Amino acid sequence: MIKPHGSESLNPLFVMDKEQREKLINEANGLRSVTVCSAAAANAVMLGSGYFNPLTGYMNLDDALSVADNMKTSDGTFFPVPILNLLESADGIEANTKIALKDPNIDGNPVIAVQEVKKIEHMTEEQKEHIAEKVFGTLDGEHPGVKTFLSSGNAVVSGPVQVLNFSYFETDFPETFRTAYQIREEIAKAGWEKVVAFQTRNPMHRAHEELCKMAKDSVNADGILIHMLLGKLKAGDIPADVRDACIRKMVELYFPENTVLITGYGFDMLYAGPREAVLHALFRQNCGCTHLIVGRDHAGVGSYYGPFDAQTIFDEQVPEGSLEIEIFKADHTAYSKKLNKVVMMSRVENHTKEDFVFLSGTKVREMLSNGESLPEEFARPEVAAILGKYYQSIK
C-alpha cells in the first residue's frame, strides 16, 4: 500500500488504548480547560484520525507563516494549510503545561483532546491577513473561509495533542465516518492496490458518477473511495445526512458490487480552492489512495478561483516529490445528447453548449422544491427523489 505522507507508517493521534484514554480523561478533569473554535475541534478530529500525518499537533506561528508562504513547516515538512488552535484569549495558559480542549459542537462541551502547550504567541492582524491571502487567495470578507479565519482568535497555542474522541462525527454518522487508519484497513481487507478517491461536499449527480467510473477505468484501479465531508458548510449547502443517503442509493443501484467504499471525514470546509485541493490529496494519501480526482473548481466557492487552478497548483507550486499520490485531472463532465452518455466535455468533438444537458444549482433547487422531476440524463431518479423530499421539507 502507498506510504502515508511524511512517515513509514500512519501515526494517528487518537489514544487507542482504552485504559490509557480513560486515565487521560480523568486527568483532563483537573487541567485548565478552554473551549476551542469549531475549526480547531475539526483539526483535532483530523489529527486523531491520522488524516494530517505526520503532524503531532497544532502548529506554532512560525510554522503557520512558513506554510502560508512555502507550503512547508519551519522544519521542512510539506503541508499546504496551517493547522492551528486559535483562541480568543490565552490568559492563564502557560507554556510547558497541559490543557484540556473542549468541544464547541456538542452540548456540555466535553473534552475532545489534551494538548501539551509548547508556545503561546500572538498573531497580529497583519500576519493573519497575510496567511489568509496566501491560503485563500483573497481577503474578501464575503469568502466563507476568509470570514471564518479572520473572525477567529489571535492567540496561537501550539503543541502536541492526544485526541480522546471524534466529536459528533462518530455518533451522528456511525455508518459513514471513518478514520484514515480504518480506511487503510478496509482497503487492505479488500485487497485493493490502486484506489481512486473522489472528494464531495454535495450529492452526486450522473456526471459525478460517470467521472468516478472514468477515472477508475483510466488508471486501472481496483476500487473507488467516495469520501464526503461531514463537517460544517456554508449556508444553503445540503446537510450531510441527505448527501449520505443520496450517495448510498446511487452506489447501491449503479456501481458494480464491491468496487466502492462510501466514507466520510470530520472536517469543516475551508473553501480554499487550490490549497484545499492539495490538502485533499495529502490526506487521501494517508488513507491509502493512489489517485485523487481533481475536477473543475475543486473546493472552490463563487468566482474566487479559476476553473482549473486546483489542478495547476500541483504542477506549479507543489514541490516535486512532496506527495506520492497522483492527480487525475478532470474537465467538466456532462450528458451528451449526441452520444447519449456522460462525457468529459473537452474530449468530444463537434459539440455546442446546446448538445449537453446542463442545469444550474438554482434551477435544480427550484425544480425539486416544486416537486418536479429532474431529467434522467442529469440525475438518477432515485437520487432525485431523496433530494426532492428534502427540498420540499424546507420549502
Report which of 202, 205, 208, 207 is spatially closest to residue 335, judged by C-alpha positions: 207
Q: Compute the residue count for the chain.
A: 395
Residues designated as active site: 201-202
The residue among 23, 29, 15, 32 whose CA lies nearest residue 99 is 32
Distance CA 84, CA 76 (A): 17
Cell, residue 391: 427540498
How many Å apart are CA 69 and CA 310, to the nearest integer?
17
Nearest-5° Cα angle at 349, 346 to 355: 85
Assigned C-alpha cell, 167: 466529536
User: Quick check: 278 and 313 in contact, CB under 8 A?
Assistant: yes
Q: Can you say how many angstroms the Cα of residue 214 is from the centroid of all Cα atoms in its chain?
A: 22
Dig out the grid coordinates for 389 from the structure.
423530499
